[in-house]
Structure 1
Amino acid sequence: MKRCTAIRHVAFEDLDLLEPVLRDRGFDIRVLDAPLGGVAELDPLADDLLVVLGGPIGVYDETDFPFLVPEIELVRRRLDADRPILGLCLGAQIMARALGAKVYPNPNGKEIGWSSLSLTDEAAASPLAGLGTHPVLHWHGDTFDLPRGAIRLASTPVTANQAFSIGQCGLALQFHVEASVAGLERWYVGHVGEIAATAEVSVGQLRAAALTQGMAMQRVGPAMFADWLDQVCA
């Protein structure tokens, strides 16, 4: 049986829509809550797949969240070996940092809500092509420089680097394809402070958008992930 470890930073940002895809392909899934410890003991090469999930902290917040130090090192070693790894939001930022790129608050401000991506020519030959013009969920205030050797796959007017690939087996997505409409109800509670502090964003607005855009992503997101998984973990 193939094995996947998912590194989780906050309970409500989990695999969600991606979990059934993994189970359908015979993966045994282990979830590690990084804030509770254990990251330093992980073998970076042991699993068939490593998924690094999102969370409401900055990758540069090592003083407040020291578990980030061994997590970045774990990801760096995984990337050096070109073993399958997917980073989502904070996970993408950790990948960028592990590759030596700068991660910092987005000078264009936070990006919270649903909007379409501009895919690069390289994305047309990647699993991201399946996203087409479907709006995806954005929920981030940080961004990163494109790491050396990485291929940019997507951008938005607010965030130039929305996705990149690295090597044959690394994929970093600043946006979210994993969150279900039902699962987002937990996000609205967990992120209520950030929502209240962000102009022109409200729980009602996000919920209404999810009921339209999110319903489409429940089909498109898992299909994109399945295509990528079949490519790197065949």
Structure 2
Amino acid sequence: MRVAILQHAPFEGPGRILQWLDLRAARVRVYNLHANARLPNPDDFDLLILMGGPMSIHDEAELPWLKAEKRLIRKALDAGKRLLGICLGAQLLAEALGAEVRKGEAEIGWWPMEKRAEADRSPLGRMLPQRLLAMHWHGETFDLPMGAIALYGSAACANQGFVWEERAIGLQCHLESTPASIGAMLANCTADLELPGAVEDAAAIRDGFPHCSAMAPTLFRLLDYLTGPHAALT
């Protein structure tokens, strides 16, 4: 399996996704867009992973590589590739599928999610736990793309995840988080903790580090399904 990872900030890497990739002996290449890395072509990968980042998907004037990334996402969808978008990556995926991305209530820290009733329309949705405590770090949100099936919602964010045609998954939350990756966010995005909304302080976020291991089984299940032979509606 050939995997391309698009990274938007040096402190928002793939986290525990690398463990899953290592267990499956995947061929992985990380493209650091924040360092003006050249983008891959759809022929170069089987799975495209879009990571998070502190920027907005609307920052094309300041970050011109966003336009090229958006074109690549659309080409990958048209080529039938598998895609996973996380936080900013989920917003980019949602926009590529025609949905609006806009400012929302800030949601930072450990907050529970509830599976949406419509998730049972998807074979993937039926496999996921009803409730999940996840790591969140975002201030924008997306509408559900046409044809997508909602997976989760939280008190502060109705659309926490979706699956589209069983081959593209968007997650607003950070199931890939590890103590190290959260520590990097705390070090680089301290000002975000002053935003109004559902925002925990740094101490509470660190206290939640043990929850990282509890998120891993759901993350791995999502990735197994997305890349497996049964990724089709039944």
**TM-score, with length taken from structure 2:** 0.88
Whether the aligned pair in 2 keeps the contact of 1:82 and 1:167 (CA below 8 Å) is no
Matches of 1:231 and 1:7, distance apart in 2: 24
Cα deviation code 1:192-212 (max 9, x no counterpart): 12124457532111111223x
| Equivalent residue number for residue 10 of structure 1 | 9
Whether the aligned pair in 1 keeps the contact of 2:42 and 2:75 (CA below 8 Å) is yes
Whether the aligned pair in 1 keeps the contact of 2:110 and 2:200 (CA below 8 Å) is no
Mean Cα deviation higher: 200-209 or 8-17: 200-209
| Equivalent residue number for residue 78 of structure 2 | 80
Matches of 2:22 and 2:154, distance apart in 1: 32
Matches of 2:124 and 2:49, distance apart in 1: 18
| Equivalent residue number for residue 43 of structure 1 | 41
| Equivalent residue number for residue 109 of structure 2 | 113
Describe the shift of the 1:46–1:100 C-alpha distance in structure 2 as closer, same or farther (beyond 3 A).
same
Percent identity between the two aligned chains: 30
Using the TM superposition, give the Cα deviation of residue 37 of structure 1 relative to its aligned residue in structure 2, in angstroms. Answer: 2.1
| Equivalent residue number for residue 226 of structure 1 | 224
Matches of 1:232 and 1:44, distance apart in 2: 22
Q: Give unpaired runs (5+ residues) of structure 2.
A: none
Q: 2:175 aligns with which of 143, 156, 177?
A: 177
Matches of 2:182 and 2:230, distance apart in 1: 28
Describe the shift of the 1:128–1:207 C-alpha distance in structure 2 as closer, same or farther (beyond 3 A).
farther
Q: Give the secondary-structure state (helix, strand or coil) at the position aligned to 1:95.
A: helix
Cα deviation code 1:116-168 (max 9, x no counterpart): 22212443431674344230111110001111221111111221111111123
Q: Give unpaired runs (5+ residues) of structure 1.
A: none
| Equivalent residue number for residue 147 of structure 2 | 149
Q: Give the secondary-structure state (helix, strand or coil) at the position aligned to 1:91.
A: helix
Describe the shift of the 1:28–1:232 C-alpha distance in structure 2 as closer, same or farther (beyond 3 A).
farther
Describe the shift of the 1:4–1:162 C-alpha distance in structure 2 as closer, same or farther (beyond 3 A).
same
| Equivalent residue number for residue 51 of structure 2 | 53
After TM superposition, list the pairs within 5 Å mapping 1:162-201 onto structure 2.
Answer: 162-198=160-196, 201=200
**TM-score, with length taken from structure 1:** 0.88
Matches of 2:29 and 2:53, distance apart in 1: 18
Using the TM superposition, give the Cα deviation of residue 66 of structure 1 relative to its aligned residue in structure 2, in angstroms. Answer: 1.0
| Equivalent residue number for residue 21 of structure 2 | 22
Alpha-carbon RMSD across the aligned residues, in angstroms, is: 2.1
Using the TM superposition, give the Cα deviation of residue 231 of structure 1 relative to its aligned residue in structure 2, in angstroms. Answer: 4.8
Specify the code of the residue in structure 2 equivalent to 1:48.
D
The structure with more strand, counted as a fraction of residues: 2
Mean Cα deviation higher: 188-197 or 87-96: 188-197
The runs of 4+ residues in structure 1 deviating greater than 6 Å are none
Matches of 1:232 and 1:28, distance apart in 2: 21
Whether the aligned pair in 1 keeps the contact of 2:42 and 2:79 (CA below 8 Å) is no
Cα deviation code 1:153-192 (max 9, x no counterpart): 1111221111111123111111111011233211110111
Describe the shift of the 1:232–1:29 C-alpha distance in structure 2 as closer, same or farther (beyond 3 A).
farther
Whether the aligned pair in 2 keeps the contact of 1:72 and 1:94 (CA below 8 Å) is yes
Specify the code of the residue in structure 2 equivalent to 1:207.
R
Using the TM superposition, give the Cα deviation of residue 44 of structure 1 relative to its aligned residue in structure 2, in angstroms. Answer: 2.3
Describe the shift of the 1:42–1:215 C-alpha distance in structure 2 as closer, same or farther (beyond 3 A).
closer
